Homo-oligomer: A and B are copies of this chain.
Amino acid sequence: MLTARRESLLGLVVDEYVETALPVSSRALVARHGLGVSPATVRNELAKLEDEGYITHPHTSAGRVPSDQGYRYYVEVLMTEQPLEADEARTIAHQFHQAEGSLDDWLALAAAVLAASVANAVVVTRPHSPLPRVRNVQLVQLRRDVALMVVVLDDGAVRERVLPLPGAAEQADLHALSERLAGHVGGRSASAIRRDVEAMEDGELRALAGTVVDLAEEHRTWQETFLEGLPALLQQPEFARGEQMLDAVRRLESYEVGRLLEATEPEAPGDTRVVIGSENPQREMHDWSMVVARYGDDDAVGTVAVVGPTRMHYERTIPRVRFVAALMGNLLHEARA
């Protein structure tokens, strides 16, 4: 249990440190905010806060720095979220509407816009439903005996694969084949299809249905993940030295980003979750924080996450993530409903 004064002091330390990235001294606290006490008193209080684990000391004669526990308390109890100003919200919404390309383009744009707003890296995943159903299958002839299978799922995902065709076929034949295939797999989920696949008599159709299952199940996590704002992240003082920057880049490599989000428990759309430093089950993320939100609806859910150093402007970041997630949910719904 923190006394009222210690609480407010902790808040000031966090605010100050988040802003300046410099350890906060007792003197600075007194000077910058008109506390009615002397630096010595503040020092005593800070010492107590340190005993209780809310702040630390890089070295003897340095100021104080919040610990993960301190940030946690701050986020849970002290922080007052800083909502977006009207024009900021307007700008973001405007940028969102402007994009008129494919879903992928739009997601990347959303990530970039949020990244710019919070000055950190942002990861966005494509929305997908836990059990997508096949909405449509098409076989398109590319060459004489090569076709392209295009599968459209009801969460909007479009997946493709190049197939060799045993025995040349006309586009008309392929068309008929598509129809037959669609009749078997249309409106059904991957697992449902798989259950029947073996029972199919027609060998050709069975093979094709198998491919449909593959495509429907293939999450392609890393391909469906959009990372933006890497430069913004790397500009943070914690990555000033080349070594650390290289580390950061490695950690956010495309293949890794998916894994990074896996560690986060899925939540319902609307929720926003904050994972601070050592709270992250992944060891290598121990000096990073993530603000994760889900967007979408019951049919299809995706993830938006801000990734950055634990010294993060939580007050600003959390409402912005929430705002963007909500906006994405709405637009997605609007575009579909």
Contact = CB atoms under 8 A, between A and B. Distances in A.
Contact of A230 (B143, B162, B253): B253
A91 interface: no
Interface string A143-165: 11010101010101011111010
Contacts of A242: 239-242, 244-245
A160 to B, nearest CB: 5
A4 interface: no
Tell me the interface secondary structure of chain A in the complex: mixed
B102 A146 contact: no
B146 A335 contact: yes
A88 B310 CA distance: 43
A199 B249 CA distance: 53
Given A148-B158, A156-B142, A249 B223 contact: no
Interface residues of A, number: 48
Contact of A160 (B135, B148, B158, B337): B158
Interface stretch (A15-23, A103-111, A201-209): A103-111
A67 interface: no
A255 to B, nearest CB: 8
A140 interface: yes
Per assembly, the copies of the chain total 2
Contacts of A230: 249, 253
B143 A336 contact: yes
A138 interface: yes
B143 A136 contact: no
B160 A140 contact: no
A103 B141 contact: no
A298 interface: no
Contacts of A235: 246
A134 to B, nearest CB: 10
A150 B150 CA distance: 9
A218 interface: yes
Contacts of A240: 242
A1 to B, nearest CB: 42
A208 to B, nearest CB: 16
Contacts of A239: 242
A158 B150 contact: yes
20 contacts: A103-B162, A108-B254, A135-B140, A135-B142, A136-B140, A142-B154, A142-B156, A142-B336, A143-B337, A158-B160, A162-B336, A230-B249, A230-B253, A231-B249, A231-B253, A234-B246, A235-B246, A239-B242, A242-B244, A245-B245
